């Protein structure tokens, strides 16, 4: 989705006047967050460590109530984890007593009961094959590397085919080559399902490669210091990163982060 096609698209998330303070520590994590995310859009939050990116994602997932402000998903207040949202954090958190494929099928079992998992097993194994884990379906988490466990966690998130993907540094534990492959696979999956993707990342190139819009955030209390629309043709490939326009966008995001740091 290019910046020029945004208007007229259905709003998925609308956030207005959002603040969050962790009272026990008296930490003002987020301040005056206002944004709108559209169906099929890929957006990134990028900023310095501790600026509230993960806190914002957790609020959007319905796992944390904001101190102030409105968070609407498809026009409804977010007051708990919505069924149509899949979320993935920085750590895989696989259950050590379940095999890889059993971990992937866990959301199906929790929603529909163990009997229904048989109908989804082929789909789970196909997802594992797509992320390079063919042959590891019956291995336990203790037999997987950190990167392999993270890829299994991605499959666990995707098995329910969520309309919205909330991703908190999902590929940070992967080596560079695998991370690039997973970035492209995420793009393919999102486009095939017209899914809305919200990504927290520290990588400027990753943000530009994947996103239609990048939200640069200031240091704590986290505020949106600048919004950069990324108008590059899709589907994007690794060759996209060599385009002069790509290099220009990465420079714009870096300068926005520098200005946000100076203004904080």
Residue 4 falls inside a structural domain: yes
In a domain, 37, yes or no: yes
Q: Give pLDDT, residue 50.
A: 87
Q: CA torsion 64→67→73→78, rounded to 10°? A: 50
Residues 201 and 46: their CA atoms lie apart, in Å, by: 6
154 in a domain, yes or no? no
Is 46 a domain residue?
A: yes
Report CA torsion sign: 149, 137, 139, 164.
Answer: positive
In a domain, 45, yes or no: yes
Residue 9 lies in a domain: yes
pLDDT at 53 over 80: yes
Task: Map residue 61 onto helix, strand or coil.
Answer: coil
Percent pLDDT > 90 in the chain is: 61
Please count the structural domains in the chain.
Answer: 1
pLDDT digits (tens, 9 = 90+) for 116-153: 788 889 999 999 998 889 999 999 999 998 888 888 99
Containing domain of residue 4, as a range? 1-79+196-264
> b vs e for 129-151, b when ≥16 Cβ sit within 10 Å of the residue's Cβ?
ebbebeebbeebbeebeebbbbb
Rg (CA), the chain: 18
Question: Does 43 score more than 90 pLDDT?
Answer: yes
Q: Report if residue 259 sits inside a domain.
A: yes
Report if residue 93 sits inside a domain: no
Distances (CA, A) of 166 to 39, 157, 161: 13, 10, 13
Instruction: Give the lowest-confidence range in 23-32, 61-70, 193-202, 242-251.
Output: 23-32
CATH number at residue 53: 3.40.50.300
């Amino acid at each position: 989705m290019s910046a020029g096609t945004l208007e007229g698209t259905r709003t998925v998330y609308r956030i207005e006047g959002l603040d969050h303070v962790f009272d026990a520590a008296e930490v003002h994590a987020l301040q005056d967050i206002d944004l709108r995310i559209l169906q099929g859009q890929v957006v990134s939050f990028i900023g310095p460590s501790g600026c509230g990116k993960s806190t914002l994602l957790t609020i959007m997932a319905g796992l944390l109530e904001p101190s102030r402000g409105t968070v609407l998903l498809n026009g409804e207040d977010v007051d708990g984890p919505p069924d149509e949202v899949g979320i993935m954090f920085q750590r895989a958190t696989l259950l050590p007593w379940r095999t890889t494929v059993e971990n992937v099928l866990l959301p199906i079992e929790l929603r529909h009961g163990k009997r229904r998992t048989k109908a989804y097993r082929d789909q789970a194994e196909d997802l594992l094959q797509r992320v390079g884990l063919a042959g590891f379906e019956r291995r336990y988490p203790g037999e997987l590397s950190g990167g392999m466990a993270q890829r299994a966690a991605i499959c666990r998130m995707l098995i329910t085919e969520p309309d919205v993907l909330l991703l908190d540094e999902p590929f940070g534990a992967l080596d560079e080559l695998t991370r690039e492959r997973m970035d492209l696979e995420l793009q393919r999956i999102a486009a095939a399902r017209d899914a809305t993707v919200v990504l927290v990342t520290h990588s400027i190139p990753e943000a530009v490669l994947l996103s239609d819009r990048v939200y640069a955030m200031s240091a704590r209390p986290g505020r949106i210091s600048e919004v950069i629309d990324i108008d590059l043709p899709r589907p994007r490939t690794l060759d996209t990163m060599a385009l002069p326009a790509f290099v220009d966008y990465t420079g714009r995001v870096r300068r926005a982060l520098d200005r946000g740091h100076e203004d904080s």
